[in-house]
Amino acid sequence: MTHYNRLSEVSYNEEITSWRFRVKIHRIYPFISYVTSSGPHWTYILADEDGTKMEMTICGGYEDRFRGLEKQEGKWVEIFRVDVHRAYTGFQATKSRFTLNATRHTQVHIIDHLKNRLYMDFKNIHEIPHMNYRDRNYPIGTMRVIFNTESHFDDPARPKMVFYIRENIKSRIKCVATGDQAYAFRDGLENMRGRGQVQSAFAGG
């Protein structure tokens, strides 16, 4: 029987090259390297059956080998032979101390959907208009550009932050944070100022 590693087991050890994961592609987004002025490259947000999340980056000229995979968001995959690196400081889409990097030896195969009662799934932004009323409180996990923020703190009893998130011109949604969440969101924006445009947002349905 094939043994799969958990994302929570990942550690930085250059001698280990046989990592083998069974994960869901939770989110995919492109990025441009301002260091090398190259791209777009791709970052994948992966989640295993335990719900542990980790980034995997495809860059370094290997994008063509994985062409088409960026359209498989939401699919479960097997991933073989990836490099492990320590996560950089600054904005990260997950809380993991490590990231995965695809290499010329990396293999990715789509597999059947896995169901595990411990795994917390997330809806994506484009699913929101089509959600059933029974899913109104379903967690929404998204990574988009935040724009057009509006602050409403004149009434201390009813603080509110209104903002919009989008992936492209056709995919956008209005979000509202109230109470303590409004202050937390405002402080988060202040802390992220100057670190780039893409930010992570998690909201209830």
CA dist., res. 190 & res. 44, Å (int): 26
Query: Do residues 90 and 195 lie in contact, with contact meaning Cβ atoms separated by under 8 Å?
Result: yes
DSSP 3-state of 183: helix
pLDDT value at position 136?
47
Q: Which letter does DSSP use for residue 127 in this model? A: G
The strand pairing partners of 172, in sequence order, are 166
The tens place of each residue's pLDDT in the chain, 205 residues long, gives: 678 888 888 888 777 767 889 998 888 877 776 666 676 778 888 988 888 888 898 876 777 778 888 788 888 999 988 888 888 765 566 778 888 888 888 889 999 887 654 455 555 555 555 555 444 444 455 555 666 788 889 888 899 988 877 655 556 677 788 888 888 878 877 765 554 444 444 444 4
pLDDT value at position 139?
47
Residue 111 CA: distances (Å) to CA of 13, 23, 70, 108, 131: 27, 9, 16, 10, 25
Token pair listed for 36: 């090398």
pLDDT value at position 198?
42
Residue 96 CA: distances (Å) to CA of 22, 88, 125, 145, 153: 17, 10, 23, 22, 34
pLDDT value at position 78?
93
Asked whether the domain spanning 125-204 has the same topology as the one spanning 7-111, the reply is yes
pLDDT value at position 120?
52
User: Would you list the domain boundaries of the chain?
Assistant: 7-111, 125-204
Check whether domain 7-111 has CATH 2.40.50.140, yes or no:
yes
CATH of domain 125-204: 2.40.50
User: Tokens 């509110």 map to which residue?
Assistant: 160
